[in-house]
Amino acid sequence: MSASKQTSAVAVAEGNVPSGPVDADGKSPFGEPIAAFLARRSWLFPAALFVVICFAPWLGLTPTTLRVIQLGAIFTMVVSGVNLTWGYAGELTLGQIFIYALGAYIGGYFATHGITDLFVGLAASAAAGVLVGLIVGLPGLRVSGLSFAMVSFFLILLIPDIASILPGITGGFTGIFGINDITVFGTQISGNAYIVILVVIAGMWLLIVRNLVTSEYGRGFDVLRASPVLAESLGISVYRQKLKAYVIGSIPAAMAGFMFAHLDAFVSPSDFVFATAVSIIAASVIGGNRSIYGAVIGAVLLQIGPLVTSSFQSWDLTIYGVLVLVGALVTTGGIAGLATRSGWRLMRRLGYADTIKAARIPRPADDRVPASPPEGASTLVAQAPDPSDQTEGFVEIRGVSKSFGGNNALDDVSMSLTRGAVTALIGANGSGKTTLLNILSGFYQPNAGEIIVDGTKLAGRSTSARYKLGIGRTFQTPQVVSEMAVMDAVALGAWSRDPVGIARSVLRTPGSRRALARHRASARRAMSRLGIEDRAWEEAAAMPLGTRRLIEVARALIETPRMLLLDEPASGLSVGERQALGELLARLKGSSMAVLLVEHNVEFVMSVADYACVLDQGRVIAQGTPQEVMRDPAVVASFTGRVR
């Protein structure tokens, strides 16, 4: 089976490569291969720039330019941490300067107390950054949105207070003078060597960010930003993920502060004033907060201003205010976003856009099916239907009630789901079907009753924990993250049950690559079951409604849930799509999962469901086989609106 999948995968990838006319508008015959080569290795551009900047001290630049490079490198790290928290994880952090100041004071204190080693200092400041990140993030991120922004804004206010409370460490309002040079393995580092080390540290940090945000782990950020509900239902804890982003983003800020202490051998509270705090936010907005290299653009631009004009100082707040306001109003994604869009426009005009897009599609080898499926990997759907496998009472819903205000959405609902069977939940609008699904997947807590899946009580478990227990679902309105390929949108379903941690994602270990290949292989299997495999590398959010529904079904199926909740999967599907879905559901009979299908289309229900349960105004009015249920007078009355 896997061999045939392979061939078709190759065909798909090759089919997407346009074999358009090469010389039609006078392009060089070498253009296409070069464009494809560079598109596949886009990291060559920042890498080349990095190498050039490393040699900056020997390029005969003016002291002002060198200063811009040094401060630019320092603030690149700070701004990049902001971008990780804000642009990627979606929580605006305004007080990154506090952590930066902390790192600087650690640098000053260490150096004036005989500890000059670079690695010790970086490790200590990183640890301090993590600590502050936890102290502020743990309470601050409890409530999403405004709360964290304001809590972090508060930090700006605390810098002068803490500086004056601890004069022995911070030197009070005068600061710390005469900070010794750092040492690396006992060698003093100053002048050009310091610049190179600074640039290398900033460059390494950017590499870490790049590897993180382009990994499967990083795609989790896109999910929680676009839809916290989806993230939770896929086993991603929004709170924990945001906290991790903030804590990780604190590390470069603290390290940047440490390096700053050694820039002028002087640290004082005047380095950490409101204007500086604001310049970091402005840099993030202007550079582009959802971009890896936007931090460089923003940080460097904001350093050039003060150094070029001497009157900048008195107008700094006004200028930052305008930059933040106009930047947020006019641009989406700052200069980096602008550059990306105009880059694509240019490539389209030159005729290379399709080549580049095609070249960026991972080669089929990247989602090769592993020779032997590792333990825990899905064996999905493949088993032959075997009615003897059916276990009754696999899922028990007992006496579940839920009211919103005075409105009883569910009233003492009891039903059981059979493993290896499809149970349809039907009822008029407002009868409580989706409420029951939301209780099963943990978005609502019931007022009474309990739910037991395969002997495990669900009470008190979060949505993300329930996903890991094996409860997968789809949504009435398909939740598909924009700017994500269909393949990756489906593979999201595999990640949280076979996760790759931050460290392994950043280091791109062979294990993490294998996990990615595994997830993509499962995704490809699930997609082929639903007949959407040929869409694998197109943008998921741009797909028609029917395909987006099937993407959701594939995503929920990918890791063989124990209970699969489908919320009106057939509505909006074309005849062919509905047939594919029906065939899939038929194959799920006898599998290891219990399927609960919420559906309005009675014909569809009759054809695929083994059992049916009818809700009316929050109460179960009939249960049994679809045929039995449809003959029930109470059901007929409910559906035709007759008064009983």
Partner 1 sequence: MTTIWAGLSVGGIYAIAALGYNLVFVAAGVFNFAQAQMVMVGTFMAYVGAVKIHMPLVLVPLFAAAVGFALGFVCERVAIAPVAGRGGHAVLVTTLGVAILLDGVMSQIFGANPLSVPFYGSNQITTFLGGRAAPSDFTLMVLPIVIATVIYLFNTRTLTGRAALASAEDRFAARLRGVNTARLAWLSAAAGGALAGLCGVVVAQTTYAVSDLGDLLAIKAFLVLALGGFGSEVGAVIGGFLVGLIEAESTRYLNASYSDLILFGFLLVVLLLRPSGVFVRHRVRRV
Cβ at position 321, least distance to partner 1 in Å: 3
The rounded Cα 348 to chain-centroid distance in angstroms is 29
**Sign of the dihedral through C-alpha 161, 163, 169, 173:** negative
Element containing residue 449 per DSSP (H, E): strand 448-453
The answer to whether residues 316 and 303 touch, using CB atoms and an 8 Å cutoff, is: no
Determine the Cα–Cα distance for residues 195 and 177; give it in Å rounded to an integer: 20
**Scanning the structure block, which residue is given the tokens 């996760």?**
499
Cβ at position 145, least distance to partner 1 in Å: 7
Cβ at position 322, least distance to partner 1 in Å: 6
Cβ at position 293, least distance to partner 1 in Å: 19
* Phi, psi angle pair for 414, to nearest 5°: -125, 135
Is 404 a residue that touches partner 1 (CB under 8 A)?
Answer: no
Nearer to partner 1, 290 or 466 (CB): 290
What percent of the residues of the chain are helix, what percent strand, and what percent coil, each to the nearest 5? 60, 10, 30
Q: What is the DSSP code (8-state) at residue 84?
A: I
Judged by CB under 8 A, how many residues of this single chain contact partner 1?
A: 48
Nearer to partner 1, 37 or 312 (CB): 312
Q: Which two tokens stand for residue 258?
A: 């440490």
Determine the Cα–Cα distance for residues 151 and 155; give it in Å rounded to an integer: 7
Q: Which stretch binds partner 1 (CB under 8 A): 194-202, 327-335, 495-503, 546-554?
A: 327-335
Is 324 a residue that touches partner 1 (CB under 8 A)?
Answer: yes
Q: Which stretch binds partner 1 (CB under 8 A): 12-20, 87-95, 231-239, 485-493?
A: 87-95
Is 315 a residue that touches partner 1 (CB under 8 A)?
Answer: yes
Is 321 a residue that touches partner 1 (CB under 8 A)?
Answer: yes
Nearer to partner 1, 277 or 356 (CB): 277
The answer to whether residues 220 and 231 touch, using CB atoms and an 8 Å cutoff, is: yes
The answer to whether residues 550 and 530 touch, using CB atoms and an 8 Å cutoff, is: yes
Cβ at position 280, least distance to partner 1 in Å: 12
Strand 594-598 versus strand 563-567 pairing type: parallel
Nearer to partner 1, 66 or 149 (CB): 149
**Scanning the structure block, which residue is given the tokens 């054809």?**
607
Among 92, 485, 156, 130, smallest CA distance to 290 is for: 92
Cβ at position 317, least distance to partner 1 in Å: 3
Which 139-178 residues touch partner 1, going by CB under 8 A? Answer: 139-140, 142-143, 145-147, 149-151, 153-158, 161-162, 164-165
Binding mask 201-240 for partner 1 (x = CB under 8 A): ------------------------x---------------
Cβ at position 164, least distance to partner 1 in Å: 5
Is 323 a residue that touches partner 1 (CB under 8 A)?
Answer: yes
Is 136 a residue that touches partner 1 (CB under 8 A)?
Answer: yes
Cβ at position 150, least distance to partner 1 in Å: 4
Is 482 a residue that touches partner 1 (CB under 8 A)?
Answer: no
The answer to whether residues 601 and 612 touch, using CB atoms and an 8 Å cutoff, is: no
CB neighbour list of residue 375: distance below 8 Å, 6 or more residues apart? none
Is 417 a residue that touches partner 1 (CB under 8 A)?
Answer: no
**DSSP three-state, residue 626:** helix
Q: Which stretch binds partner 1 (CB under 8 A): 135-143, 478-486, 576-584, 607-615?
A: 135-143
Out of 285, 410, 532, 594, point to the residue binding partner 1 (CB under 8 A).
285
The rounded Cα 135 to chain-centroid distance in angstroms is 23
Determine the Cα–Cα distance for residues 187 and 443; give it in Å rounded to an integer: 58
Q: What is the DSSP code (8-state) at residue 87?
A: I
**DSSP three-state, residue 115:** coil
Determine the Cα–Cα distance for residues 291 and 300; give it in Å rounded to an integer: 15
Q: Which stretch binds partner 1 (CB under 8 A): 32-40, 54-62, 320-328, 387-395?
A: 320-328
Is 278 a residue that touches partner 1 (CB under 8 A)?
Answer: yes
Out of 317, 346, 365, 542, point to the residue binding partner 1 (CB under 8 A).
317
Q: Which stretch binds partner 1 (CB under 8 A): 59-67, 228-236, 273-281, 540-548?
A: 273-281
Q: Which stretch binds partner 1 (CB under 8 A): 325-333, 413-421, 446-454, 537-545?
A: 325-333
Nearer to partner 1, 73 or 97 (CB): 97
Q: Which stretch binds partner 1 (CB under 8 A): 138-146, 373-381, 527-535, 631-639?
A: 138-146
Which amino acid is present at 422? V
Among 474, 499, 479, smallest CA distance to 237 is for: 499
The answer to whether residues 583 and 552 touch, using CB atoms and an 8 Å cutoff, is: no
Is 386 a residue that touches partner 1 (CB under 8 A)?
Answer: no
The string of DSSP codes covering 133-183 is HHHHHHHHTSSTTHHHHHHHHHHHHHHHHHHHH-HHHH-TTT-B--PPPEE
Nearer to partner 1, 86 or 394 (CB): 86
Is 320 a residue that touches partner 1 (CB under 8 A)?
Answer: yes
Q: Which residues bind partner 1 (CB under 8 A)?
A: 86, 90, 92, 94, 135-136, 138-140, 142-143, 145-147, 149-151, 153-158, 161-162, 164-165, 225, 274, 278, 281, 285, 314-329
